[in-house]
Amino acid sequence: MSSTEKAYSVAILGATGLVGRTMLQVLDERDFPVRKVLPLASAKSCGKEIEFRGETYLTEVPSHEVFSKADIALFSAGAAASRQWAPVAAEAGAVVIDNSSAFRMDPEVPLVVPEVNPEAIFGAGGRPKGIIANPNCSTIQMVVVLKPLHDRYRIRRVVVSTYQSVTGKGKAGRDALEGELAGKIPESFVHAHQIAFNAVPHIDVFQENGYTKEEMKMVNETRKIMCDESLSVSPTTVRIPVYGGHGESLNIEFEDDFKIEEVRELLAGAPGIIVQDDPSSNLYPMPLTSYKKDEVFVGRIRRDFWHPKTLNMWIVADNLRKGAATNTVQIAEKLIGIL
């Protein structure tokens, strides 16, 4: 941070959780101009120590008074806490960037992935909205890849199958896998069934239409972010026993024809994407590839055998970083110099 750059007071609701702690790491790594951190947590976590840039902060419970001291408030404490406190924080003068599902489909709240629709952050007069929503982790990495392809070829339909890390369930999801691997079988499973040595096609609750809530998030959020209600998304979401990194298999049908080499060039030149696509050298993305990285990794790029205007590919991103904390901080970076 330069000596002339304005610094900001940043509140973090859910500062003791996996995503909250990752937000602090990302703020530091990306040299975000922080004047002061205001770590917030539930009453049971109140008073816990949080370290940031050599300073020790004690967590507090959220309140209007605390939020009145913040310029930006990063939320990652679940939808119930967001519904309770985001309007309070916004009324107190902070710009809230919310990582929960509470406001994603609210027509008055922008749903933002900076590589895709950064303009949505700002309302009339170029000022940011009081609440900005961070999309679901599985949606974020997909739309980063879809955006340059949609601009060039126009997407008709996407069939997506996800292979999602246990950390998508936070610390509880990670601890459940570790416990099961150690032979501790719980009375009730965090992931609906045993996750060790297994794959569970059940993320969030099932809806009346047979899809899970996680799957419907991918449908509805993608359309909102891409500003295209005609876009068809057909998802199946699966939890697998890895610690970090969501994988997604994409089958993308276009209106226009494409050349594979042009697709690779488009993706390689797009922000936030790293192409790793050389099967002859066993080069393709894996969860370990993306672990603690901020980019979306793309590989296994190939034309569908039976539908010439359809493309197959495999993408991976760290769900705690690009799928949550990094995307949140990237939105905050768009506010630098404006607040």
Catalytic residues: 137, 246
For 29, how many CA atoms within 13 A lie in the half-sphere containing its CB?
Answer: 14
Buried-state track 200-231, b at ≥16 Cβ within 10 A, e below 16: beebbeeeeeebbebbbbbbbbbbbbbeeeeb
Q: Are the beta carbons of 222 and 139 closer than 8 angstroms?
A: yes
79-81-86 Cα angle (round to 5): 95
With residue 156 as reference, give the H or E element that holds it: strand 155-164
314/327 Cα distance (integer angstroms): 21
Q: Are the beta carbons of 23 and 329 closer than 8 angstroms?
A: yes
Q: Are the beta carbons of 143 and 116 closer than 8 angstroms?
A: yes
